Structure 1
Amino acid sequence: MDLKESVRNQTDVGLRMTRHLFLAEAMGQNMVCSPLSIHVVLSMIAASTKGPTQDELLSALKSTSTGELNSLASNLLPLVFADGSPSGGPCLSFVNGVWVDRSLPLKPSFKEVVDTFYKAAQKHVDFQNKAEEARAEVNSWAEKETKGVIREVLPPLAVNSSTRVIFANALYFKGTWDDDPFLDEVGIVKIPKFKITSWFEVWGILKQLGLKLPFNMTEMVEAPPGQDLSVSKMLQKAVIEVNEEGTEAAAVTVTSASFSLAAWEPRKKIDFVADHPFLFLIREEMTGAVLFIGQLLNPLQG
């Protein structure tokens, strides 16, 4: 499968996921999410599974193999997330991390995958005796990688002594407008300034997409005999702010176990005045990858 087809499949999965998310979680509120961030975390989880669990994940992600998912990550991320800020382009950051309890050594095959394809930082921590310190470490990592936009992705009590593994993905975007966003040569464009912060549990949405829980991650660590390591929760926190200067957005997706803003050129001059609810997305033009999707119902919220 070539890159374009893989991106189309990822976008289709992301749109379906977002539709379920907004119907279940938005409850008439503004909301933003990063389906790509969720997709990457699920891809790393798929690499840690086998058998029926892996088949179920591959089907949900519209992929034929973990090799295909790994290839998408390794080929897409350098293209989409090349930092163009020195030349005045968008600043993009996309990083992965895996925190594992120090009692569980990673299997060499899994370590090679996350090293080679996902460039994921891997750290061993003491969940059993220092769960709060581990939570603080993940939150500090997320804050650093999102340039301070997301300060706490794991709330209190999200990590405890039974936690054994945390997967995390942090996505940060900041771009300035190519043109004055409120008066463009193709017509009058008026959108309100707004800021949206969303925090939600992802598992309920995955269940609606047909995924059965938990996921047994048999190919990730050398687990003690008779003990299965499985995913227990998956959270995402996303923030977006749009104003006269441009757009800043960030998302962090965590799982625990126990662009420039391209100008659209229509055929004729039109006006767009966003004085009504609307959907929006941030899309990378060259690959078509959708980074963020959101809905604005009330610009005064948040």
Structure 2
Amino acid sequence: MDNIEMKEKVGKSQVADQVSPIPSLSKIDLAEAMKKQNDVYMFLAGKVISTLAKTSNLVFSPASINAVLIMAANRPEEEETLRSFILSFLRSSSTDELNAVFGEICSVVLADGSASGGPKIAAVNGVWIDQSLSVDSSWNDLLVNSFKAEFAQVDFSTKGEIVRMEVNAWASRHTNDLIQDLLPQGSVTSLTNWIYGNALYFKGAWKEKFEKYLTKNKPFYLLNGESVSVAFMSNYENQYVKAYDGFKVLRLPYQQGRDDADRKFSMYFYLPEKRDGLDNLLKRLTSTHGFLDSHIPIYKDRVGKFRIPKFKIKFGFEASKAFDDFELNVSLYQKAFIEIDEVGTEAAAATAMRRLVGSPSMMPKMIDFVVDHPFLFLIREDRTGTVLFVGQIYDPSKSD
């Protein structure tokens, strides 16, 4: 296979080593813009789940989708129809606002913290443009310096399949080989104008790990009334857990790095009281402004029964099947993976978008938190509210 030379090779999650042309917003405006994008993330989750995986396991990365859409919106030569659609879809007033949000996410959320004991994070962007198209110098500078994108001009007219294989190899390389065959055969042709890609990798250790000797097989109840036997993790620690009307929330913090004072990563579990209550909970979560921020366990509580299933799943989809609005000769593909065990979490996602021509009480009550029926989960950076991964589990015994 021919090797396509990328004009800019940038290491994983490098975020501030060059002067960035990304505009700045006031702290208030940036905070509001971040909240809007977090609502968009949950809207995306609702659309994907309701359309493609209503009652099955799912994991995907709204943050990865967000990255490729913002890159596409920034190309000066792009037709206004697509740019207007992206701004509307992301509920933003301008590309400047989107770029400011992206800059904040890069500098706070996506910086690798493994050297200081925090989560290992790799976030890389890639752009493949047909050699017949012009490349504006200011746009190229934005890609390289701000988006840290690997860039290549390619020949889609005669080497579309070679480019597809190169993009897939790029996605695999930057996700620790967890994401394979991102772009399906036949998806890149002589009619392709460009491809924007994002690869995201996360590996974090629990702040309080689970002892393996406490892991026991227990029943997990399915929607059809049957059950499957799966491995459940447990411990005797107090937990960040809170009961709300019709559901409970658990927050499991990841270990922070020594220089991670400005960010905190956590995994959240949203458990409906009713075994068949996940659909109603999802509707509330995805349609209520600020739902995540208003349902966060702040204090540790005593727990009675406490079990969380181990699981490993992967999921892939084409966004045009989930979003009716993608009618602009644009296709968006994503594959994602997540695995949790006693030590922590490993998760990855890759996205490719291509375009064709044309105060606590003194004695807190005990709360049971037994995740033995379908539930929702997400991985979130708590300071910015950025959701890296979101998903649901209907049967943890299935890995695909």
Fold match by TM threshold 0.5 = yes
Counterpart in 1 of 2:327? 213
Q: Among residues 235, 246, 265, which one is paired with 2:344 in the alignment? A: 246
Contact 1:201 1:235 in 2 (8 A): yes
Aligned-partner Cα distance in 2 for 1:269–1:190 = 14
Counterpart in 2 of 1:139? 168
Q: How far did residue 164 of structure 1 move?
A: 2.2
Q: Among residues 175, 180, 183, which one is paired with 1:154 in the alignment? A: 183
Q: Among residues 148, 152, 174, which one is paired with 1:123 in the alignment? A: 152
Q: Flag the 1:84–1:129 CA change in 2: closer, same or farther, 3 A.
A: same
Counterpart in 1 of 2:71? 44
Which structure dedicates a bigger proportion of its chain to strand?
2
Counterpart in 1 of 2:237? 185
Contact 1:47 1:66 in 2 (8 A): yes
User: Residues 222-280 of structure 1: CA distance to partner in whole angstroms, max 9, x if unpaired?
Assistant: xxxxxxxxx4311011111111121111111101111xxxxxxx964423111000000
Q: Matches of residues 104-115 of structure 1 in structure 2 within 5 Å?
A: 104-115=133-144
Contact 1:70 1:118 in 2 (8 A): no
Aligned-partner Cα distance in 2 for 1:50–1:164 = 13
Contact 1:17 1:205 in 2 (8 A): no
- If the length of structure 2 is used for normalisation, what is the TM-score? 0.65
Query: Which structure: larger Rg?
Result: 2
Q: How far did residue 171 of structure 1 move?
A: 0.9
Q: Among residues 313, 316, 332, which one is paired with 1:196 in the alignment? A: 313
Q: Among residues 273, 291, 301, which one is paired with 2:370 in the alignment? A: 273
Contact 2:52 2:322 in 1 (8 A): no
Aligned-partner Cα distance in 2 for 1:34–1:12 = 14
Counterpart in 2 of 1:285? 382
1:170 aligned to 2:196?
no
Aligned-partner Cα distance in 2 for 1:61–1:202 = 15
Q: Which moved more, 1:108-117 or 1:245-254?
A: 108-117
Q: How far did residue 4 of structure 1 move?
A: 2.1
Aligned-partner Cα distance in 2 for 1:152–1:52 = 30
Counterpart in 2 of 1:71? 100
Q: Which runs of 5+ in 2 are unaligned?
A: 1-24, 211-233, 239-302, 357-362
Deviating runs (4+, > 6 A) in structure 1? none
Counterpart in 2 of 1:263? none
Contact 1:284 1:290 in 2 (8 A): yes
Q: Which runs of 5+ in 1 are unaligned?
A: 215-230, 259-265
| AA matched with 1:213 | E
Q: Identity across aligned pairs (percent)? A: 43
Q: Flag the 1:267–1:106 CA change in 2: closer, same or farther, 3 A.
A: farther
Aligned-partner Cα distance in 2 for 1:254–1:8 = 25
Q: Among residues 1, 5, 20, which one is paired with 2:47 in the alignment? A: 20
Aligned CA-pair RMSD: 1.9
Q: Flag the 1:268–1:175 CA change in 2: closer, same or farther, 3 A.
A: farther
Q: How far did residue 120 of structure 1 move?
A: 1.1
1:298 aligned to 2:395?
yes
Aligned-partner Cα distance in 2 for 1:236–1:80 = 20
Contact 1:199 1:238 in 2 (8 A): yes
Counterpart in 2 of 1:234? 332
Q: How far did residue 117 of structure 1 move?
A: 2.5
Counterpart in 1 of 2:84? 55
The count of corresponding residues between Structure 1 and Structure 2 is 276
Aligned-partner Cα distance in 1 for 2:111–2:68 = 20
| AA matched with 2:314 | T
Aligned-partner Cα distance in 2 for 1:160–1:55 = 26
Aligned-partner Cα distance in 2 for 1:191–1:125 = 47
- If the length of structure 1 is used for normalisation, what is the TM-score? 0.86
Aligned-partner Cα distance in 1 for 2:36–2:330 = 26
User: Residues 95-118 of structure 1: CA distance to partner in whole angstroms, max 9, x if unpaired?
Assistant: 111011222231223223322331
Aligned-partner Cα distance in 1 for 2:330–2:104 = 30
Aligned-partner Cα distance in 2 for 1:267–1:94 = 40
Q: How far did residue 295 of structure 1 move?
A: 0.3
Specify the SS of the correspondent of 1:175: strand
Aligned-partner Cα distance in 2 for 1:192–1:254 = 31
Q: Flag the 1:288–1:127 CA change in 2: closer, same or farther, 3 A.
A: same
Aligned-partner Cα distance in 2 for 1:284–1:232 = 30
